[in-house]
């Protein structure tokens, strides 16, 4: 499958930080004191927003949803649970995550560079406890993530301030303390139902937090690692994803509906022309990157920190670090398992000249060993 991307489509799939559209009414808890200044940014897919009027920049199915949250210091996102994976990439600030039916099963502080995956069917909430520029990217598994369930205390407090959630996930506003008539509202979970949810210990949650010091970087994750157009390093965090290093293993291998990895390259290096048949998103976390699509009639976009680009399945692409220092990015790829890369034949030939080929299992290998 080969896809030709037009300049117009590339522009529609490029989400620059300066163009982010804030949603300040995405959820039922935005009237609860301490949560009024929550800002959500829809990026790819509808996510779990309860605001029917939200504007989503990229609506094409990816197998996952992507959004972001910005919260000044002291602002809280209240306890809720998801049915699909939720992974946070911390860009700025410090965030105190807590979990459990009442938020007292454990807590951990998430800092810039950290990635944390919260288990499904576990209540979670978090508070910005650092600087006012706190910012998180959030990836949700599946195209249809099923919405969310709020802790009973959140529904109760929201009603006190005039916000209610209908059974079909619509927000309704009333006077504080009043309830809408003729509308079926979400029913809070009972104590018996809450008692069926499993507890997650601090040790288990720590294993789902990947700090920069926890990452296992591969210096040769791709066929093109020795080429002048390649040379990127990769740290697999969620799922095996796009690595072609047979000895590389992710921090988390349980199914998420997507893989997530960190990518870095010095100026002028990156990933040579290739394609994958799954949707893929690049989030720049440091430096600057140029992404070039198509082998014929190429189109390019240059991205800086907080900028996001969705690459269509099957499109030929090249990633190049173009800043003065190291380019850093997060790569999210749809699918549960490994993603097989299709390299441009010129890349395959040049890699073979340098002694590297892809073996029958899809991993980079020493050509001399295979010849033997």
Task: Assess whether 114 and 194 both reside in one domain.
Answer: yes
Task: Assess whether 111 and 205 both reside in one domain.
Answer: yes
The DSSP string of 92-161 is ES-EEEEESTTS-SEEEEE-TT-EEEEPTT--EEEEE-S-TT-EEEEEEESSS---EEE-HHHHHHHHHT
User: Could you tell me if residue 256 is inside a domain?
Assistant: yes
Check if the beta carbon of residue 256 is closer than 8 Å to that of residue 87: yes
Task: Assess whether 66 and 192 both reside in one domain.
Answer: yes
330 Cα distance to chain centroid? 8
Q: What is the Cα–Cα distance from 263 to 281, expressed in whole angstroms?
A: 12
Domain of 336, in residue numbers? 215-371
Task: Assess whether 173 and 240 both reside in one domain.
Answer: no
Sign (positive/negative) of CA torsion 185, 120, 256, 320?
positive
User: Could you tell me if residue 251 is inside a domain?
Assistant: yes
User: Could you tell me if residue 9 is inside a domain?
Assistant: no
231: left (phi over 0), alpha (psi -120 to 50) or beta: left
Q: Looking at residue 370, what DSSP letter applies? A: H
Only one residue has tokens 């490029």, namely: 14
End-to-end Cα distance, the chain: 33
How many domains, the chain?
2
User: Could you tell me if residue 177 is inside a domain?
Assistant: yes
Task: Assess whether 153 and 237 both reside in one domain.
Answer: no
Task: Assess whether 191 and 266 both reside in one domain.
Answer: no
Task: Assess whether 316 and 185 both reside in one domain.
Answer: no
| Domain end position, chosen among 210, 238, 259 | 210
CA nearest 27: which of 82, 74, 107? 82
Task: Assess whether 68 and 180 both reside in one domain.
Answer: yes
Q: What is the Cα–Cα distance from 46 to 43, expressed in whole angstroms?
A: 8
Q: What is the pLDDT of residue 201?
A: 97
* Residues facing 360 on adjacent strands: none
User: Could you tell me if residue 2 is inside a domain?
Assistant: no
Q: What is the Cα–Cα distance from 300 to 208, expressed in whole angstroms?
A: 35
Q: Which contacts (CB < 8 Å, 24+ apart) does range 175-181 have?
A: none
Only one residue has tokens 């499958």, namely: 1
How many residues does the structure list for the chain? 372
Q: What is the pLDDT of residue 114?
A: 98
Helices (H), the chain: 7-13, 152-160, 191-194, 202-207, 345-353, 367-371
Q: What is the pLDDT of residue 1?
A: 67
User: Could you tell me if residue 3 is inside a domain?
Assistant: no
Only one residue has tokens 């890349």, namely: 347
Cα angle for residues 110, 115, 119 (degrees, 5° grid): 95
Task: Assess whether 306 and 265 both reside in one domain.
Answer: yes
Task: Assess whether 199 and 223 both reside in one domain.
Answer: no
Task: Assess whether 126 and 258 both reside in one domain.
Answer: no
Compute how many other C-beta atoms are within 10 angstroms of the C-beta atom of residue 298: 14
DSSP-based three-state secondary structure for 348: helix
Using CB atoms within 10 A of its CB, is residue 37 exposed (0-12), middle (13-18) or buried (19+)? Answer: middle
Task: Assess whether 68 and 197 both reside in one domain.
Answer: yes
Q: What is the Cα–Cα distance from 135 to 24, expressed in whole angstroms?
A: 15
Provide the greatest CA pair distance for the chain. Answer: 79
| Domain end position, chosen among 182, 210, 238 | 210
| Domain end position, chosen among 210, 227, 247 | 210
Residue pLDDT, tens place only, 320-356? 999 889 999 999 999 988 999 999 999 999 999 999 9
Domain with 35 in it: what CATH number? 2.60.120.10
User: Could you tell me if residue 4 is inside a domain?
Assistant: no
Residuewise pLDDT in 10s, the chain (372 residues)? 678 999 999 999 999 999 998 888 778 888 889 998 999 999 999 888 777 778 899 999 999 999 999 999 999 999 999 999 999 999 999 999 999 999 999 999 999 999 999 999 999 999 999 999 999 999 999 999 888 999 999 999 999 888 888 888 888 889 888 888 888 998 999 999 999 999 999 999 999 999 999 999 999 999 999 999 999 999 999 999 999 999 999 999 999 999 999 999 999 999 999 999 999 999 999 999 999 999 999 999 999 999 999 999 999 999 999 988 999 999 999 998 899 999 999 999 999 999 999 999 999 999 999 887
Q: What is the Cα–Cα distance from 364 to 293, expressed in whole angstroms?
A: 24
């Amino acid at each position: 499958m080969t896809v030709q991307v037009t300049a117009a489509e590339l522009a529609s799939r490029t989400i620059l930080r300066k163009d982010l559209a804030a949603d300040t009414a995405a959820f039922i808890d935005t009237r609860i004191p301490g949560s009024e200044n929550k800002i959500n940014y829809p990026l790819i897919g509808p996510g779990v927003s309860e605001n029917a009027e939200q504007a989503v920049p990229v609506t094409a199915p990816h197998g996952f949803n992507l959004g972001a949250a910005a919260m000044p210091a002291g602002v809280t996102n209240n306890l809720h649970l998801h049915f699909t994976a939720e992974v946070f990439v911390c860009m700025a600030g410090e965030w105190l995550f807590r979990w459990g039916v009442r938020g007292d099963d454990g807590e951990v502080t998430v800092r810039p560079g950290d990635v944390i995956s919260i288990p499904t069917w576990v209540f979670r909430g978090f508070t910005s406890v650092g600087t006012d520029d706190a910012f998180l990217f959030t990836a949700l598994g599946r195209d249809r993530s099923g919405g969310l369930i709020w802790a009973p205390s959140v529904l109760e407090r929201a009603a006190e301030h005039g916000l209610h959630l209908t059974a079909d996930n619509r927000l309704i506003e009333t006077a504080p303390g009043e309830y809408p008539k003729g509308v079926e509202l979400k029913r809070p979970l009972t104590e018996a139902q809450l008692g069926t949810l499993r507890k997650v210990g601090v040790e288990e949650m720590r294993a789902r937090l990947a700090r920069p010091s926890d990452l296992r970087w591969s210096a040769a994750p791709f066929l093109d690692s020795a080429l002048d157009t390649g040379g990127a390093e990769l740290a697999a965090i969620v799922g095996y994803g796009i690595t072609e290093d047979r000895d590389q293993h992710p921090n988390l291998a349980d199914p998420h509906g997507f893989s997530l990895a960190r990518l870095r390259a010095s100026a002028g290096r990156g990933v040579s022309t290739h394609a994958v048949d799954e949707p893929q998103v690049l989030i720049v976390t440091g430096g600057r990157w140029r992404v070039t699509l198509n082998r014929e009639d190429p189109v390019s976009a240059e991205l800086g920190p907080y900028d996001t680009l969705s690459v269509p399945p099957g499109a030929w692409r090249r990633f190049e670090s173009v800043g003065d220092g190291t380019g850093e990015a997060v790569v999210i790829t749809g699918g549960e398992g490994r993603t097989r890369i299709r390299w441009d034949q010129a890349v395959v030939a040049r890699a073979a000249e340098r002694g590297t080929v892809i073996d029958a299992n899809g991993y980079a290998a020493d050509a001399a060993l295979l010849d033997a």
